[in-house]
Amino acid sequence: MENEGSVLKQGFGIKKMNEISTCIQVKDLFVEFKLRNGKSLSVIENISFQVKEKEFVCLVGPSGCGKSTILNLISNLVKPTYGNIGIGSTHDTHAPTLGYVFQDSRLLNWLTVRENITFALKSMQISRGIWDERVDHYLKIVGLRDFANEYPLSLSGGMQQRVSIARALSVQPEILLMDEPFSNLDELTARGLRRDLLEIWEKEKKAIIFVTHNATEAVFLADRILVLSKRPTRILQEKDIPLPRPRSLEDTRLFEIQKGIVSVLENHISSKEFA
Amino acid sequence: MKTANWVIEMSRTQKAIATHCISVIFFLAVWYALSSILPGAFLPPPHSIVRSMYKIIVSGHFFKDMGLTLFRVIIGFGVAGAISTVIGVLMGIYFFFEKLFELEILVGLTIPGLIWVIIGILIFGLSENVSIFSVSVVLIPTFTINIWEGMKSLDPKLIEMARVYKSSQWMIIQSIVIPQLVPYIFAAVRFGLGVAWKVVVIAELFALGNGIGHQISNNFELMNLGGVISWAVLFCFTMLGIEYGIVRPVEKRVTKWRMKGAF
């Protein structure tokens, strides 16, 4: 009887998860890297979180923590030591489509902007007939309609990052992963791109997991923020941001939340230093 | 001394061309002077070399022998290219292969072409195989080192990007690996052309009855310095033609993405 009860409970749990349409479910995740001297380094220690469909989640943490590793786990570039990552709804077990915007644009400099995007489309085995339409649509969204035949090196850093965003969107991903995509750009360009990103997100309604070390950026963008610790990475705090968009950086409520996050991080770092 | 206005107004390219011309004229003048000072008809003057080059071209020997020599170089390039690509790629990917071939490649670089020609003759006798063998064996270490270096310089971040989008192995090779190897391949081709012709001429001189090397050897037996110089100069022009007519335009085409723009 007891067994039956727990099975029922589990079943109920799955059902409930579907109702809130979970997009990513990360559970009890541990990651260790083997070092060259044979010892192992614990990078991620017991992380669990969920991302709902169409939710914008920011992972904020000090540099050098396992933020990027979490994105690499989701995109299957790194395998977890323990724990698992469920993507897509529980019954539908297809591998989901991912878009990944890296810190550096990672464009193929020898291909034109158009060819860079069709590289992703071809890789994802999207039928050739709709390539042009997709490329034109997403270049227009990122504001680079007239640059399809340029080579990346002739574009500015901000424009290259826009191409990389267009490439990620063009495969029409269920989840968009972004790894400090604006941290290499000057603040003004970054502000413009943040505003554009929110506009695109409103239109396309993807789930976005956005990694940053910049608390101000996080409170400006996210529905929910996960504050991460230094290595080995744990979740220090989870913070909902119920403020409506467009948000203003001068908004005192935004500033209060940001101050809260920064103080959590500061306390964590100083306590580590004394330990 | 005051620099004349028309010199100041010249562009850099114009200055470069003008300097090239001055250098060639000076060289020809020294040659001419030497040919009139040296006793007898030992060193023919430039204009008589031009005449003898004209004769060689009209006689048809130029196209026949130059064609044969180039053909041998191309076959050697092909064989060396295929073998070096395999070895270089393996060395770039696997530590085991890197250490397996490293010593041989470094030693191979130091062995003079002449030795390979002699070994070739001992193995194959006086046959066409000698030229193919010696050219490819001489080229393999150079080509391999370039491909190996190129493989080591591949950007793993781009391959990671391709894996996120689930690119096939073939797409990764075609769109990410090969374009990054291109500069290394061009460096290898340039260097290889220089080395290959030096070796093929030696092979022709010792082992074969035709080609540039054989013609030079004929003229040597007749103690005809003019003939030797004519063939050598014709060969230099051919090499310049290949560099400016084929290698550079192709290189410019495949690296046009390097142009910086103004956006």
Write the pLDDT tens digit of every residue in A47-102.
888 888 889 999 998 877 778 888 988 888 888 888 888 776 555 555 678 899 99
Question: What domains lie within chain A, and their CATH numbers?
Answer: 53-80+174-275 (3.40.50.300), 107-172 (no CATH)
Give residue-wise pLDDT tens across range B50-99: 998 999 899 888 899 999 999 999 999 999 999 999 999 999 889 999 99
**Cα–Cα distance between A168 and A191 in angstroms, integer?**
20
Token code pair at residue A125: 């085995």
The enclosing H or E element of A60 equals: strand A56-60
- B16 and B52 together in one domain: no
Strands across the sheet with A224-228, in order?
A: A98-101, A175-179, A207-212, A56-60, A224-228, A235-240
Check A108 against B175: CB less than 8 A apart: yes
Check A154 against B261: CB less than 8 A apart: yes
Number of domains in chain B: 2
Check A154 against B258: CB less than 8 A apart: no
* Burial label, B98 (beta-carbon count in 10 A; 0-12, 13-18, 19+): middle
Q: Is residue B187 part of a domain?
A: yes
Query: Do A243 and A254 meet the contact criterion of CB atoms below 8 Å apart?
Result: yes
Mean pLDDT of chain A: 84
Q: Is residue B206 part of a domain?
A: yes
Q: Are strands A207-212 and A175-179 parallel, antiparallel or unpaired?
A: parallel
Q: Is residue B108 part of a domain?
A: yes
Give residue-wise pLDDT tens across range B115-128: 999 999 999 988 88
- B33 and B52 together in one domain: no
Check B263 against A159: CB less than 8 A apart: yes
DSSP, res A233? B
Q: Is residue B232 part of a domain?
A: yes
Token code pair at residue A178: 């972004």
Q: What angle do CA A66, A71, A73 make, to 5 degrees?
A: 90
**Minimum CA–CA partner of B182 in chain A:** A110
Q: Residue B205 above 50 pLDDT?
A: yes
- B68 and B24 together in one domain: no
Tell me the chain B residues in contact with residue A100 when contact means C-beta distances shorter than 8 Å: 161, 164-165
- B153 and B104 together in one domain: yes
| Domain range enclosing B24 | 5-37
In our burial notation (b when 16+ CB lie closer than 10 A, e otherwise), range B153-179 reads eeeeebeebbebbbbeeebbeebbbeb
What share of chain A in percent tops pLDDT 90?
Answer: 33
Better pLDDT: B200 or A27: B200
Q: Residue A15 above 80 pLDDT?
A: no
Check B158 against A110: CB less than 8 A apart: no
For residue B82, give the nearest of B13, B28, B162, B144 by alpha carbon.
B144
Chain B nearest CA to A197, separation (Å): 20
- B133 and B24 together in one domain: no
**Cα–Cα distance between A71 and A47 in angstroms, integer?**
13
Work out the angle between the directed axes of helices B178-207 and B212-221 (0-180°, nearest 10): 30
Tokens 């929910």 identify what position? A224
Tell me the chain A residues in contact with residue B186 when contact means C-beta distances shorter than 8 Å: none
- B95 and B25 together in one domain: no
- B120 and B64 together in one domain: yes
A102, A124, A153 ranked by CB distance to B166: nearest: A124
Work out the angle between the directed axes of helices B61-93 and B46-59 (0-180°, nearest 10): 90
Sign for the pseudo-dihedral over CA of B69, B73, B75, B76: positive
Tell me the chain B residues in contact with residue A108 when contact means C-beta distances shorter than 8 Å: 158, 175-176, 179
- B25 and B63 together in one domain: no
pLDDT category, B206, cuts 50, 70, 90? Answer: confident
Question: pTM to 2 decimals?
Answer: 0.79
A32 by DSSP, 3-state: which? Answer: strand
In our burial notation (b when 16+ CB lie closer than 10 A, e otherwise), range A141-156 reads bbebeebbebbbebbe
B160, B254, B263 ranked by CB distance to A77: nearest: B160
- B147 and B17 together in one domain: no
DSSP, res B23? H
Tokens 């709804």 identify what position? A89
What does A105-157 look like in DSSP terms, one character per residue? ----TTS-HHHHHHHHHHHTT--GGGHHHHHHHHHHHTT-GGGTTS-GGGS-H
Please state the rounded mean pLDDT for residues B198-227.
88
- B227 and B250 together in one domain: yes
Q: Is residue B262 part of a domain?
A: no
Better pLDDT: A2 or B55: B55
CA dihedral A248, A253, A256, A260 (to 10 degrees): -100
Q: Is residue B159 part of a domain?
A: yes
> Count of A–B CB contacts within 8 Å?
66
Q: What angle do CA B154, B158, B159 make, to 5 degrees?
A: 80
| Rg of chain A taking only CA atoms, in angstroms | 20
Check B165 against A106: CB less than 8 A apart: no
A185 by DSSP, 3-state: which? Answer: coil
Chain B nearest CA to A188, separation (Å): 17
The predicted structure's pLDDT at residue A95 = 66
DSSP, res A174? S
Question: Which of A123, A124, A167, A176 to mutate: most B Cβ within 10 Å?
Answer: A123
Residues 6+ apart with CB under 8 A from A226: A49, A57, A58, A59, A60, A235, A237, A238, A239
**Cα–Cα distance between A87 and A11 in angstroms, integer?**
18
Tell me the chain B residues in contact with residue A109 when contact means C-beta distances shorter than 8 Å: 257-258
Q: Residues of B at the A interface (Cβ-Cβ below 8 Å)?
A: 157-158, 160-168, 171, 175-176, 179, 182, 254, 256-263
Please state the rounded mean pLDDT for residues A197-225.
90
Check A98 against B263: CB less than 8 A apart: no
**Cα–Cα distance between A192 and A199 in angstroms, integer?**
11
Strands across the sheet with A40-52, in order?
A: A40-52, A22-34, A82-87
- B185 and B221 together in one domain: yes
Q: Is residue B259 part of a domain?
A: no
The predicted structure's pLDDT at residue B85 = 92
- B51 and B170 together in one domain: yes
Q: Is residue B260 part of a domain?
A: no
Interface confidence, given as ipTM, is 0.82
**Minimum CA–CA partner of B253 in chain A:** A110
**Minimum CA–CA partner of B256 in chain A:** A110
